[in-house]
Structure 1
Amino acid sequence: MPFDYVIVGAGSAGCVLANRLSENPNNKVCLIEAGPDDNSLFIRIPAGIIWLMRSNARNWRYYTVPQKALNNRQIYIPRGKTLGGSSAVNAMCYTRGHPWDYDHWEELGNPGWGYRDVLPLFKRSERYEPGADEFHGDRGNLNIAELRFRHPVSEGFVRAGVQAGHPATDDFNNATQEGVALYKVNQKDGERWGVARGYLHPALERDNLTVMTDTLAHRVVFDGKRATGVEVERRGRRQVIEAGQVILSGGAINSPQLLKLSGVGPREELAGHGIPLVHDLPGVGENLQDHPDVLVIHRNRRRDTLTMGSWELPFTGARALWQFFTQRQGQLTSNVAEAGGFIKSRPEEPRPDLQLHLTAAKLDNHGLNWLFSFGHGYSGHVCILRPKSRGTIGLADANPRSPALIDPRFLSHPDDMEGMVRGVKAMRQIMAQDALAPWRGEEIAPGSAVQSDEQIRDFLRRKCDNIYHPVGTCKMGVDDQAVVDPDLKVHGLEGLRVVDASIMPTLIGGNTNAPTVMIAEKAADKILAE
């Protein structure tokens, strides 16, 4: 029978919508997810992110097209493919961005999206264990906790940041954001607390909510300009799920791809793939933004960091397993990227323009290079927060199973390259402080031979990567490139919304999971008000 709402994608936005829309027992809601259930032990164990990065079952494991500014390298883009989406496979860092980011959205022609409007939604979504205050709530679905385990080098990194002249903070989500600290994380009682666990699981017993996993959406079905359902494939069988409203929540890669497969997008591109045009919307798949990221890596003189191989690993591993399964304590409760900060690369910056993460392990290529991770070390991530480079999501062909053509055009804007050069210097300055002296061994990357700005640029071309925050490809606004309006309705169509990180007109200065939850909370309010 027809549903009132069908939601495509059970990620950080889709799970919120499924909960909120099904709270009214009169609403019949269907949630579609291409991946399996989120019942993997590696999802529950916070440090399981190391294995989830390699998972084929619960990770889309996308790659970009060759990146011209990065020596034509293809960059790995992990995205969650399970209930909870990327909140089931990420590093659980809870940050929202700077208040200015949301005021900027409003300035771009999106009334109701300023910081004063979205702060109550952030607070409503939170169960903030440190306690409610003017920036946080403690009665929501998304649990936010202090880390139960901190590698000593992570605490050393915070002290080093202060020694380098950056302020200490206890909350990256206040009015100023600036400072260095240990991250608050989406965990509860030592386990990952992703959006599926916080929002979807409590709603699964509702008779008016249907959840379909291992179900791939092929296209949105239209009657003229009105969306009437979604054609899906499940267990080798195609069917159309009819609904009064269709909501796309597949994320910044999958939502524009599905729109194009459905005949909504740039006329010329669709014609080139033989896809019948439903609505010419040139902004679909444009405006792709992501945070470029690079690592400053040191060997560790001690033996107290994570490693994929050493003589003591069987002993430390057995102890970590015992601590986790008996007490929910120990190294397996680590989110791996425990410490970090939001800092200014130069004094004249009006707000933090760099984000830092400290990983208590040697990393290369997202940890996929296992051999590099043997031995003890630590890695300092640095990324620019508001890149000016803009990319695209295109179609490889008209087959829904074919990955999209992902082209972020990393560092294609010269200001991004120079911002990353300043970021490497800022990270090196922190790494050189006395607080890290007990751990500090040889600098592996960039390496002591890399000193001049041009040498750092060459290093960035060889090693710059990303920190998994794609947004913007179905941007919200009222200009010619906008895909959805401020109510998140697709321009020129009826019965169709996009609700996920793809609607962000500009990338916020921080991790994108919490803002995606906020977007879904706001969308649910708008939908229910109708």
Structure 2
Amino acid sequence: MIRHADVLVIGAGGSGAALAARLSEDPGRDVLVAEAGPVPRALPEFPADLLDARLVPGARPGSPAVRTVPALLTSGLPYMAARGRFLGGSTTVNGGYFIRARRADFDRWSAAAADDLWSYDRVLPLLRALESDLDHGAAPPHGDRGPIPVRRTGLRHPAAAAFQAAARELRHPDEPDKNAQGAPGFGPVPSNTVDGRRVNTGIAYLLGAAAHRPNLTVLGDCTALSVVVGRGRATGVVAEHGGRRTVLEAGEIVLCAGALASPHLLHLSGIGPAGDLARAGIPVVHDLPAVGAALSDHPQVAVEWVPRRPMPEPSGSWLGGALHLRSTGGAEAGDLEILQSLVPVSGLVTGTTTVPGAPLPFLVSVLAPRTAGGLRTVSADPGVPPHIEYGYLETGADRRRMREAVRAAAAVAATDAFGEVSRSLAEPAAGTLDDDRELDRWIRARLGTSQHTCGTVPMGPAAAVDGHGRVHGLDGLRVADTSILPTAPLRGPAATAVLIGEVIAQAIRSER
């Protein structure tokens, strides 16, 4: 094991696996990765359910590849947020949704960071370099030589075909390539799955060419507890590995533990809002108020419909089609999402692909960029979870957009085209749909989250990190995961998480 690395990467998930693999392409740089979960050394060592693209392990309570963190979705509404704890992080347990952020997102992030490194034109070559698009090949704006395979879900399943026909009946535009920055509409979902197999970032980046590099070491079951800081510089990380505490030393440390774990780790290290840290009994090392001050995510509810006849089992993915549309007065095109599941909710939570007689869901989300809530560490004990609030449905605009999204899904189910496969909407009932207050109550009772957390260690001159992920006021410490995005993108962030690893790796290499 490398005891003193040039770069220590905390977390081998969506961002960390990409960053570590890219940095280790330089043979003179020793890279050490500390991953809290198991680290298989070969594909056959992965449990079959983590590779099956028809399943969503993160939706299954008790999955050994998932850790859960208590949170409040809105006042008085508790929730358990799921995150991957396995090589590949949450890309191992999520739905395989791999849609790029929108140009508007990059414009917003670039402005917030005061760094055109995050402009769409600057990141496009990296977006192309990280993928092998199996549908479009190297045709602009896609790549065909990257580690992540991207395949769009087929629309051959009867429910998916009916969704497409219903969207056309409602005159929503076709959007055949959701990674091409076209006008939002209906289309298949780009996914990092091939022939029914999920290809997470651990498989794509660390079990490929990087696996045999002598300058790259990946430690599994190695939990980071705090960052060691002396004289304004991060020099190592206290970690628990093999039942013992050890200090992993490095010339540079990059936190890629995710938008919930990275700010918590910074807080445990004494880096964050001084008043909160002192109240938690944590000695203040560096007052940085922006760490955990807010977060950004997407609220979600399931709108279920009753099949007219038994639906076939999905063959390659649990995902059908996706419809993106603009909310009334929405500043961003496509800020509402209707994502089709070909597996019942009861199947998603039990790990089965068919449940006879069960309704099928549309997963309905509001993607409008906003921040709310936050993450506050309440104890110096790493085993005590932080206090997390999502701050959903706080404003009239929040509630209005959520109602619009639910009603848009109900409109799809009510079309003649969708009636070919659907007997009826399971709920909400017509009376609830027509009454704002009743619909607000219905939504709150069923509220969930898309698990798209960002913004807890935001980039910006007056925020927590700069556009290269460097923590303001400290040397040798960066953050490179979705926590640095000031707001969640207008799409799910999995593809953007990988991009963050690529962007920060390029920044590090350019600085050397």
> Which TM-score bucket, shorter chain as reference?
over 0.9
Shift of residue 486 of structure 1?
A: 1.2
In structure 2, C-alpha distance between the alignment counterparts of 1:505 and 1:487, rounded to whole Å: 14
1:245 and 1:495 in contact (8 A); partners too: yes
The answer on whether the counterparts of 1:304 and 1:376 sit within 8 Å (CA) in structure 2 is no
Amino acid at match of 2:37: G
Letter of the 2:376 counterpart: G
Q: Which moved more, 1:265-274 or 1:353-362?
A: 353-362
Residues 459, 486 of structure 2: 8 Å contact kept: yes
In structure 1, how many angstroms separate the alpha carbons of the residues matched to 2:192 and 2:147?
11
The runs of 4+ residues in structure 1 deviating greater than 4 Å are 347-350
Structure 2: which amino acid aligns with 1:98?
R
- Find the counterpart in structure 1 of residue 445 from structure 2: 462
Q: Answer yes or no: is 1:32 the counterpart of 2:34.
A: yes
* CA distance in structure 2 between the partners assigned to 1:519 and 1:436 by the alignment: 39
- The residue type paired with residue 212 of structure 1 is L
In structure 2, what is the equivalent of residue 392 of structure 1?
374
* 8 Å Cα contact 1:5-1:29 kept in structure 2: yes
1:146 equivalent in alignment to 2:128: no
Q: Deviations over 1:244-287 (max 9, x none)?
A: 00000011100000000001001011111221111000010122
| Aligned partner (choices 13, 16, 19) of residue 15 of structure 2 | 13
Greater displacement, 238-247 / 347-356: 347-356
Q: Which of 386, 389, 396 is residue 407 of structure 1 equivalent to? A: 389
Matched residue, 1:484: 465
- C-alpha separation in 1, matches of 2:385 and 2:243: 19
SS of 2:54's partner is helix
Which residue of 254, 262, 277 corresponds with 1:255? 262
Once residues 494 and 293 of structure 1 are traced to their aligned partners in structure 2, the CA distance between those partners, rounded to angstroms, is: 39
Look up the match of 2:119: 114
Q: Which residue of structure 2 lines up, in the alignment, with residue 505 of structure 1? A: 486
CA distance in 1, matches of 2:479, 2:272: 14
2:496 aligned with 1:515, yes or no?
A: yes
| Offset, 1:92 | 0.8
* 1:382 and 2:351 correspond: no
Cα distance change, pair 27–275 in 1 and its aligned pair in 2 (3 A): same
2:188 aligns with 182
Where structure 1 has 5 or more consecutive residues not aligned to the other structure, the ranges are 307-330
The answer to whether residue 104 in structure 2 is matched with residue 100 in structure 1 is: yes
Question: Residue in 1 aligned with 2:43?
Answer: none
| Amino acid in the other structure paired with 1:86 | S
Within 2, Cα distance between the matches of 1:26 and 1:466?
Answer: 43
Aligned mates of 2:264, 2:453 — CA distance in 1: 14
User: Does the 8 A contact of 2:332 with 2:368 survive in 1?
Assistant: no
Secondary structure at the aligned position of 1:271 is classed as helix
CA contact (8 A) 1:360 1:377 kept: no
Match of 1:76 among 57, 80, 83: 80
Output the aligned Cα RMSD.
Answer: 2.1
1 CA distance for matches of 2:446 and 2:255? 34
Structure 1 counterpart of 2:53, one-letter code? P
1:333, distance to aligned residue in structure 2 (A): 2.6
1:254 alignment partner AA = A
Cα distance in 2 between the residues matched to 1:489 and 1:418: 38
What's the TM-score, normalizing by structure 2? Answer: 0.93
Counterparts of 1:146 and 1:509 in 2: how far apart (Å)?
19
2:212 aligns with 205
Contact 2:11 2:33 in 1 (8 A): yes
The answer on 1:90 being equivalent to 2:117 is no
Following superposition of structure 1 onto structure 2, how do residues 37-52 of structure 1 map, counting pairs within 5 Å?
A: 37=39, 39-49=46-56
Would you say the 8 A contact 2:174–2:185 is kept in 1?
A: yes
Aligned residues: 499
- Kindly tell me: are residues 517 and 50 of structure 1, through their superposed partners in 2, closer, same or farther at Cα, counting changes over 3 Å? closer
* Whole-Å separation in 2 of the counterparts to 1:153 and 1:182: 13
Measure how far apart 1:135 and its partner are: 1.5
Q: Which residue of 2 aligns with 1:528?
A: 509
In the alignment, the residues of structure 2 paired with residue 268 and residue 220 of structure 1 have an alpha-carbon distance, to the nearest angstrom, of 19
Q: 1:460 to 1:364 in 2, by over 3 A?
A: farther
Instruction: Name the CA distance, whole Å, in 2 between partners of 1:191 and 1:56.
Output: 18
- Secondary structure of the 2:302 match is strand
Residues 144 and 186 in structure 1, CA contact (< 8 A), matched pair in contact too: yes
Kept after mapping to 2: 8 A contact 1:299/1:362: no
Instruction: Describe the SS at the equivalent of 1:64.
Output: strand
The one-letter amino acid paired with 2:24 is S
Q: Does 1:277 align with 2:307?
A: no
Change (3 A) 1:286 1:458: same
Structure 2 residue 445 is matched with structure 1 residue 443 = no
Q: Which moved more, 1:102-111 or 1:44-53?
A: 44-53
The answer to whether residue 343 in structure 2 is matched with residue 361 in structure 1 is yes
**1:416–1:453: structure 2 CA closer, same or farther, 3 Å change rule?**
same
